[in-house]
Amino acid sequence: MIKTTPFHDRVSALNETGLWSHWAGHLVVDRYQMSEKFEYFAVRNSAGVFDTSPLYKYRVYGRDAQRFLAGVLARDVRKCRPGRAQYTIWCDDGGFVLEDGVIFRSSEDEFLLTAAEPNLAYFSDLVGRHSVVIEDVSAQYAAIAVQGPRSRTILSGLAPDIADLSYFHFANTKLGGVPVMVSRTGYTGDLGYEVWVPAGEALTVWDAVMEAGDGHGMIPFGQIALLMARIEAGLLLIKVDFESSRYAWNDHQRSTPLELGLGWMFRDLASDDRAFIGRNALQREIADGTSRWAMEGLLVDWAEYDRLHREAGLIAPKDHVPYQFEMMLYDDDGQRAGYATSFMYSPMLQRHIAIARVVPALSKPGTRVHLEMTINHRYVTVPAYVARTPLYKPDRKTA
Amino acid sequence: MSKNRSYDAVVIGGGHNGLVNGAYLAKAGLKTLILERRHLVGGAAITEELYPGFQFTTFSYALSLLRPEIIHELELTKHGFMPLLMPTTFAPGENGQYLLLGQDHDENLQEIARLSPRDVDAYEQYEHDISRVCQALKPLLDAVPPNIQSKDPEELAHMAGLAAYLRDLEPRVLHNAVRLLSGSAADFLDDYFENPLLKGYLASSSIIGTKVGPMSQGSGLVLLYHNIGEHDGAFGSWAFHKGGNGGFTQVLARAAQSFGAEIMLEAPVANVITKSGKATGVALADGTELEARIVVSAVDPRRTFLDLVDPRELPADLVENIRRFRFQGTSAKVNFALDGLPRFPALGDRGDQYRGFTNIGPSMEYLERAFDDAKYGWYSARPYIDCAVQSTIDPDMAPPGKHVMSCFVQYAPYHLRESDWDTERQGFADTVQATLESFFPGFGDLVLHREVVTPLDIERVVGLTEGNIFAGEFLAPQMFFFRPAPGWNQYRTPIEGYYQCGSGTHPGGCVMGAPGRLASRQILDDLRAEG
């Protein structure tokens, strides 16, 4: 039986389209209004509200919580001080990525970890002799993301302390009289916050936030608008841009952190004395330079894209709805050079963009590759240029 | 101000075409100066806080025809280019009827079916047919038209190439193009549709900025023009730039400056300085003289040829053609600061219908009768109004809960019979407000502030002759080969080094930027040819 989120009464009343998806066993709105692009622009220009409750949430606490997580998570959680959060990944011992999530550190020995997929057995089996408790609190907390340039004004109107919250910091405060945790995090690449609410009081918080957003152009946004924003922001999506190594059939389906462009998490590996899962393999990969791929952004040559369609007697389609399937890439000599995993027309960048993996030799920004698509039922390629993600990065995101 | 500063190029007029032109010239490495008479750039594409907390797009109010090439070539996305989607189009009818179109194709068809089941697939056919004409004619917007008076082999080849291009179009597409370019919008629309409200809405695009009614021959051209604009790959689609069109021209100014162009504000130009048939610089009203090899006029043809230079230096036939060039502005604006959203009774307390244009033109007859008044020298008793409550799209336009409403009004002929606009200003605005009141009862109670912009104001403030928003009428004899005059449609003038790049040149007005871009290409080609 599919579940509904604690905000369901509100989101279902606002969903004018009747379009729903399933996400982590919950009903979620594809788009509330007749235009996902309008919802997307609310995120980029004013503010949008997204029900992110279906995320899996694990509470990890106990005397050895830090030691346990430092050995399980690939990024060094010891550097995450209370009141801060980290985007992190966890790997298998082959150095392949299992999953990504965000870890919030509430105190010396208490953490909250989000994940897109269920992980309770995986983490529990690793506890061993550590004095640590892992609790699945997914259903206990509802979460809404309030994202966009007006999000700070709107939320700090309800709780002034939010105004000073730095990027990837969080605070316990009250919204509409309800104790909540507010973090400066999100999945849109814009200024934004996520509000973590006790499930039973979700509607009170929703109403307070919506009321505060009144007159600010704030509207709820659905999955499609979220995916548009995340591609511009270069944020990876499991089962789209990578697969969990845990359920992979072969290494073609697996990715290492370096291959996903997450090498920055291991800049201090030399001085990092942790024995975390995947460390040896990761170290070998770094030393031997054996990464098969580099995860990069692509900017499609707009003029060529237009020309190819025009000469085929067509209006060049500029569809902002993400196409999340593989599209092949070739180098100038026609050799296989990688593949795009997410592709869309970006309204902010006014051209088609993609998240892609390219062979490391072609990962330098500005390198030309050739993206395959079909026009009039024939394969053609259009030039595209490698670019560092995020492709869209407003200063306000981290300011 | 230092005397006798020297530039490679000086652009007269900081409207959008002047900025585009200056940006391209600077990008090509020319030391470029853009001169603007007023305290801000943008020309008619400006945003002003005319009432505390309320941002008004005083004149031009939306974006569509902007050439995609300009966005990329001038790297506008780096400078804050942000074309916000206007997701709805609302056409209130009389007697509580309405048409509300949005972004969902299937829902739009259901909405049209409510008015007329027959018009549903007619609408799809119409959209397809007009898009095909737009696709066919679009390349003509992005290229310098041939000079039909020239016997230069290159120009003859250019003409032959154009003829070949048209010959190769599908016959139905070419025929539709000719019907639109020469005929009336009413005839064209009558071939497809039966519902008066739908026809009124579609026909409204055939009169904007032009002294024609939908039943006039020539209105088809205006209809086509308003559909050929493309936005994110869709023809006839409009956007609202963040911060209004003033926000857009600020982006252009930043782009121009990033390429090294200099912008001088409050620098009205007295005249272009010429020597032996060559432009050598510009004299400002304060007496400053600036030297330049290239002088580009971004102002309208009358000012370009009759004010900035001495007409006696020009060929008599050109002077005559420019004198005959029709301006006859017929558009005005009334901009409102509102205490809340207008209420349309049939939709109850809904407000989402205002997230785009609201079209007060409920039938072709309504529009034609509005035109009738203008024919005889008066403003319409029941005017056509194109409203945009822009604060529903961009909350930075008004304080929370309040709104700005831009109303483009037609017809308001520049020449009034036995009166003048300074006398009629408030009476005109009252007529507009009364018309709005008839569609939105209680509208008057929402009005916090009203800003009236008559054709005379457009002329005085922006400098557009007779307040014509396109810097010259969109009539076939004033387009393409003939814009602004036969033989002088390629951005050059008879004075060497003096060029034109305003909306009075091909392809014409609207915030399109094509004249500025094409003129820059012509200038740079000429410089290369000179060596």
* Residue B84 to residue A216, Cβ atoms within 8 A: no
Residue A112 lies in a domain: yes
Chain A contact present for B355, CB below 8 A: yes
Chain B contact present for A308, CB below 8 A: no
From A307's Cα to the closest Cα of chain B, the distance in A is 11
Do A79 and A130 belong to one domain? yes
pLDDT at residue A256 in the model: 98
Contacts of B68 in chain A (CB under 8 A): 302, 306, 350
Looking from the CA of B454 toward its CB, the CA atoms found within 13 Å total 19
Residue B441 lies in a domain: no
Chain B contact present for A199, CB below 8 A: no
Two structure tokens written together for B526 = 């000429």
Do A180 and A323 belong to one domain? no
For B258-275, how does the pLDDT look when each residue is reduced to its tens digit (9 = 90+)? 999 999 999 999 999 999
From A150's Cα to the closest Cα of chain B, the distance in A is 9
From A302's Cα to the closest Cα of chain B, the distance in A is 8
For B492-522, how does the pLDDT look when each residue is reduced to its tens digit (9 = 90+)? 999 999 999 999 999 999 999 999 999 999 9
For the residues of B148-178, what is the DSSP string, one character each? TT---HHHHHHHHHHHHHHHTS-HHHHHHHH
Do B72 and B163 belong to one domain? no
Closest Cα in chain B to A316: B233
**Three-state SS at B526:** helix
Task: Give how many domains chain A has, as a whole number.
Answer: 3
Give the residue carrying structure tokens 């659905």: A222
For B481-491, how does the pLDDT look when each residue is reduced to its tens digit (9 = 90+)? 999 999 999 99
Give the residue carrying structure tokens 């782009």: B255
Chain A contact present for B82, CB below 8 A: yes
Do A23 and A127 belong to one domain? no
Do B252 and B318 belong to one domain? yes
More reliable by pLDDT, B64 or A23: A23
**pTM of the predicted structure, to 2 decimals:** 0.96
CB B134 within 8 A of CB B224: yes
Chain B contact present for A345, CB below 8 A: yes
Residue B343 lies in a domain: no
Chain A contact present for B188, CB below 8 A: no
For A85-99, how does the pLDDT look when each residue is reduced to its tens digit (9 = 90+)? 999 999 999 999 999
Do B215 and B127 belong to one domain? yes
pLDDT at residue B345 in the model: 97
Complex ipTM value: 0.94
Query: Residue A22 CB: number of other CB atoms within 10 A?
Result: 11
Do B126 and B212 belong to one domain? yes
Query: Residue A181 CB: number of other CB atoms within 10 A?
Result: 18
Task: Give how many domains chain B has, as a whole number.
Answer: 2
**Three-state SS at B456:** helix
* Per-residue CA distances from A80 to A68, A97, A103, B81 (Å): 14, 21, 9, 37
Select from B131, B233, B393 the Cβ nearest to the Cβ of A317. B233
For A205-215, how does the pLDDT look when each residue is reduced to its tens digit (9 = 90+)? 999 999 999 99
Do B127 and B76 belong to one domain? no
For A332-361, how does the pLDDT look when each residue is reduced to its tens digit (9 = 90+)? 999 999 999 999 999 999 999 999 999 999
Do B266 and B221 belong to one domain? no
pLDDT at residue B337 in the model: 98
CATH number at residue B20: 3.50.50.60
Confidence of residue B231 (pLDDT cuts 50, 70, 90): confident
For A360-389, how does the pLDDT look when each residue is reduced to its tens digit (9 = 90+)? 999 999 999 999 999 999 999 999 999 999
Closest Cα in chain A to B392: A217
More reliable by pLDDT, A284 or B237: A284
How far is the C-alpha of B122 from the C-alpha of B124, rounded, in Å? 5
For A249-306, how does the pLDDT look when each residue is reduced to its tens digit (9 = 90+)? 999 999 999 999 999 999 999 999 999 999 999 999 999 999 999 999 999 999 999 9
Do A316 and A260 belong to one domain? no
Do A46 and A179 belong to one domain? yes
Mean pLDDT for chain B overall: 96
* Residue A303 to residue B242, Cβ atoms within 8 A: no
- Altogether, the residues listed in chain A come to a count of 399
For A141-171, how does the pLDDT look when each residue is reduced to its tens digit (9 = 90+)? 999 999 999 999 999 999 999 999 999 999 9
| B91-114 mean pLDDT | 95
| B409-413 mean pLDDT | 98
For B416-463, how does the pLDDT look when each residue is reduced to its tens digit (9 = 90+)? 999 999 999 999 999 999 999 999 999 999 999 999 999 999 999 999
Residue B61 lies in a domain: no
For B122-136, how does the pLDDT look when each residue is reduced to its tens digit (9 = 90+)? 999 999 999 999 999
Residue A245 lies in a domain: no
Contacts of A345 in chain B (CB under 8 A): 232-233
Chain A contact present for B69, CB below 8 A: yes
Chain B contact present for A214, CB below 8 A: yes
Optimal mutation site among A32, A45, A216, A308, interface B, most CBs of chain B within 10 A: A45
What whole-number percentage of chain A has pLDDT above 90? 99
| B177-181 mean pLDDT | 96
Do B166 and B221 belong to one domain? yes
Query: Residue A289 CB: number of other CB atoms within 10 A?
Result: 8
CATH number at residue A194: 3.30.1360.120
Q: Where are the alpha helices (DSSP H) in B205-241?
A: 219-228
Do A382 and A304 belong to one domain? yes
Secondary structure letter of residue B63 according to DSSP: B
Select from A45, A315, A351 the Cβ nearest to the Cβ of B84. A45
How far is the C-alpha of B403 from the C-alpha of B390, rounded, in Å? 7
CB A171 within 8 A of CB A161: yes
- The letter for the amino acid at B499 is Y
Do B485 and B524 belong to one domain? yes
* Residue B135 to residue A317, Cβ atoms within 8 A: no
**Three-state SS at B7:** strand
How far is the C-alpha of B511 from the C-alpha of B520, rounded, in Å? 17
pLDDT at residue B4 in the model: 60
CATH number at residue A300: 2.40.30.110
CB B122 within 8 A of CB B112: no
Residue that finishes a domain, picked among A264, A289, A314: A289
- The letter for the amino acid at A152 is R
CB B420 within 8 A of CB B456: yes
- Residue B68's nearest CA partner among A194, A202, A236, A345 is A345
Contacts of A348 in chain B (CB under 8 A): 77, 82
Residue B77 lies in a domain: yes
Residue A230 lies in a domain: no
What whole-number percentage of chain B has pLDDT above 70? 99
Residue B9 lies in a domain: yes
Give the residue carrying structure tokens 């309208």: B300
Do A173 and A317 belong to one domain? no
Two structure tokens written together for B248 = 């857009």
pLDDT at residue B65 in the model: 87
Do B127 and B181 belong to one domain? yes
Contacts of A35 in chain B (CB under 8 A): 85, 87, 102-104
Residue A231 lies in a domain: no
Catalogue the long-range contacts made by B278-286 (C-beta closer than 8 Å, 24 or more residues apart): B278/B495, B278/B496, B278/B497, B279/B495, B279/B496, B279/B497, B279/B498, B280/B497, B281/B10, B282/B10, B282/B12, B282/B35, B284/B35, B286/B1
* Residue A37 to residue B87, Cβ atoms within 8 A: yes
* Residue B233 to residue A217, Cβ atoms within 8 A: no
Do A201 and A71 belong to one domain? no
How far is the C-alpha of A339 from the C-alpha of A371, rounded, in Å? 8
Confidence of residue B1 (pLDDT cuts 50, 70, 90): very low
Chain A contact present for B340, CB below 8 A: no
Q: Where are the alpha helices (DSSP H) in chain A?
A: 8-14, 36-45, 65-72, 120-125, 151-158, 202-213, 223-232, 279-288, 302-311
Question: How wide is the angle at C-alpha B6 spanned by C-alphas B4 and B10, nearest 5°?
Answer: 110
Residue B366 lies in a domain: no
Domain that holds residue B217: 122-194+205-225
Select from B68, B81, B104 the Cβ nearest to the Cβ of A34. B104
pLDDT at residue B232 in the model: 83
